[in-house]
Amino acid sequence: MRIGRVDAVSTTSLLRPWMGIILRMRLMTSLLRCAHMRGYRWLKAEGVGAQDAHYDQPSENEYHYLPSEDAPYDQPFEDFISDAGWQDTAHNNSYGDATQEMSQDLPRADGRDYQEHEMSQDAPGLDGQDYDEHLSNGASGSVPSHRPENGPWPSGNVPTQGPSPQRYTARTRRYPPMVIGFTNGHNRGPKDRKTRKLHRSVRKMMKEKLGFGSKRKPSQPHPPAAIDDIARFLEGGPGADMDNLQLDLITTSDGIRSHWNADAAKKFAAEFLQRVDNCWFGENVFHEHHLTSQHIRELFLTRIRYFRELYRSKYFPASDQVHQLRKALDRRTSRRLSLHKLRKRMCRDYEPGLQRVLEHVDDEMISEDETDIEHTRAAGIKVFRRVRKTWVNPELTSIFHNLLDVHLYRMNVFAQFGAGNQFRQRINHPSASKSHTGVVVGLPVNFYNSGWLRRRSPEEISELRCEPLIDLTPFTARLPR
């Protein structure tokens, strides 16, 4: 009777060795796939022909060469900026082209850029072990030697002048208006998933190099660069060390235009792109046209302001009162942005005709006319007190308040609000107004208060850059009388 019985314990013990074999086979398959991709990149960089490597030969337009020279560090800063021509996107100041400020880029065999002067015969290859040994010897992530200067050109197709490389075009940010109190709108194009992944990876690697620990295990970061080290660097001494990275938070107000930080950004970009080659972040996780030395340097420099605040909180913590005020401002800003997003959703769901109007305004236009009173005297009641902006057309404000905000308090079929915190009540405060607030430029002319416009000078009118008016009559006719 026991001959046909299957023992579950014995079956599990028989399958256990096979499960281990299957797991090892899957691991070997993954390693072979990764080695195959590395070998393909190495052979492509070495210029091995299709008859030897069984790969297609690169096209003629795949390789470019940009001869140039590094920007010297011993010249005055103004001459350095004029020669470099770099653009400070964080402060809307034009400094020209960044290609010559932090040395020119040499396109690699796969279309990405590296610095020409970092091409060294002693640099390691794509093997991760060689790269780790190279870094352990004190090097700073230079470019591998298998990147030839003039590229592995196909036989018989050696161009005399390569085509212009495809540069990454950042999201445009216009120059600020010349009139104090005027400001550009906040609306900018959204980032896609790969762009957000790249920015997150750059920020994470900067935290690693600067000595910041994780949120669960915070650690004391490396101190900022000393003024003596910066002075020696400007006289020709060594710059930033990637094994003990330090930022210059002294010589400039924002840290972006510092020569020390520019040199650190150059070394950081080389090591980051080396990690990309070594499949550190995975395969095909970033846009190929973003993986240039110039773009990585710009990402590094624009994030110095974020780390400046982290250093300030670490070494110079604010008092409890200042800390509470900052938290209150952050909460108000968060609610203001959330309200703007909610109005967009209500416009899409209930007032589609207002979408054209809402496209021309942003959170600065329709949300900052409300001042928050967090600690209200009435228990359990949270309110926003609306404060009128003198430069905004009152009809436009009434349209948003009466045609969109009424949908924020809709109930379900059971006459109940949804889950979560309820929207704050908003009440008008006619006795108060804000006149010295940021005036958004580039709006349709009838979005501004006509009386406020008549008091502007011709120079201020030209700086407003008004667009043609949009008919608001269909919406004002629906307002309550």
* Residue 393 CB partners (closer than 8 Å, separation 6+): 446, 447, 448, 449, 450
pLDDT of residue 201: 93
Mean pLDDT score, 254-262? 87
Q: Looking at 116-125, 283-292, 423-432, which range is the least confident one?
A: 116-125
Span 293-319, pLDDT tens digits? 999 999 999 899 888 888 887 777 778
Q: Which of 429, 322, 329, 451 is nearest to 383 (CA)?
A: 429
Q: How far is CA 166 from CA 151, 188, 190, 288, in A?
A: 17, 23, 21, 10
More confident residue, 457 or 378: 457
Tell me, yes or no, whether 465 lies in a domain. Answer: yes
Domain boundary among 253, 288, 313: 313
- My answer on whether 309 and 454 are in the same domain is no
Is residue 214 over pLDDT 60? yes
Tell me, yes or no, whether 160 lies in a domain. Answer: no
- My answer on whether 361 and 406 are in the same domain is yes
Tell me, yes or no, whether 371 lies in a domain. Answer: yes
Is residue 266 over pLDDT 90? yes
pLDDT of residue 479: 84
Tell me, yes or no, whether 159 lies in a domain. Answer: no
Answer whether 170's CB lies under 8 Å from 191's CB: no
- My answer on whether 291 and 379 are in the same domain is no
- My answer on whether 145 and 284 are in the same domain is yes
- My answer on whether 407 and 339 are in the same domain is yes
pLDDT of residue 399: 85
Confidence of residue 175 (pLDDT cuts 50, 70, 90): low
Q: Is the pTM of this model over 0.75?
A: no
Tell me, yes or no, whether 379 lies in a domain. Answer: yes
Q: Which of 57, 250, 71 is nearest to 157 (CA)?
A: 57
- My answer on whether 72 and 132 are in the same domain is yes
- My answer on whether 376 and 440 are in the same domain is yes
Tell me, yes or no, whether 318 lies in a domain. Answer: no
Tell me, yes or no, whether 158 lies in a domain. Answer: no
**Domain count along the chain:** 3
β-strand 113-115 against 105-107: which pairing, if any?
Answer: antiparallel
- My answer on whether 233 and 363 are in the same domain is no
Tell me, yes or no, whether 428 lies in a domain. Answer: yes
Buried b (16+ CB within 10 A) or exposed e, 239-259: bbbbeebbbbbebeebbbbbb
- My answer on whether 425 and 330 are in the same domain is yes
More confident residue, 283 or 80: 283
Confidence of residue 174 (pLDDT cuts 50, 70, 90): low
Answer whether 96's CB lies under 8 Å from 259's CB: no
Q: Looking at 6-15, 184-193, 204-213, which range is the least confident one?
A: 6-15
Q: Tokens at residue 17, please?
A: 């060795």
End-to-end CA distance of the chain: 93
Q: How far is CA 33 from CA 26, 57, 248, in A?
A: 11, 21, 42
- My answer on whether 241 and 383 are in the same domain is no
Coil, strand or helix at 334: helix
d(CA 267, CA 261): 10
* Residue 92 CB partners (closer than 8 Å, separation 6+): 173, 174, 175, 176
Mean pLDDT score, 317-346? 78
Domain boundary among 256, 287, 313: 313
d(CA 156, CA 102): 34
pLDDT of residue 403: 80
Main-chain dihedrals φ then ψ at residue 205, nearest 5 degrees: -70, -35
Domain boundary among 255, 283, 313: 313
User: Domain range for residue 411?
Assistant: 323-476
- Residue % of the chain over a pLDDT of 90: 11
Q: Which of 37, 1, 26, 176 is nearest to 94 (CA)?
A: 176
d(CA 463, CA 6): 86
pLDDT of residue 151: 39
More confident residue, 245 or 375: 245
- My answer on whether 296 and 395 are in the same domain is no
**Number of helices and strands (H, E) in the chain?**
16, 7
Q: Which of 296, 37, 13 is nearest to 170 (CA)?
A: 296
Confidence of residue 101 (pLDDT cuts 50, 70, 90): very low
Q: What angle do CA 408, 414, 420 make, to 5 degrees?
A: 50
Span 349-400, pLDDT tens digits? 888 888 888 888 876 665 444 555 555 555 555 666 777 778 888 888 888 8
3-state helix, strand, coil in the chain (%, to 5): 45, 10, 50
In the beta sheet, which residues pair with residue 427?
385
- My answer on whether 93 and 224 are in the same domain is yes
Torsion of CA 256, 90, 324, 328, to 10 degrees: -170
Strand ranges (DSSP E) for 171-254? 182-183
Which span out of 29-43, 274-288, 324-338, 364-378 was modeled with the highest average pLDDT? 274-288
Mean pLDDT score, 435-444? 77
Span 216-236, pLDDT tens digits? 777 788 888 989 999 999 988
pLDDT of residue 110: 42
pLDDT of residue 389: 79
β-strand 370-373 against 439-440: which pairing, if any?
Answer: unpaired
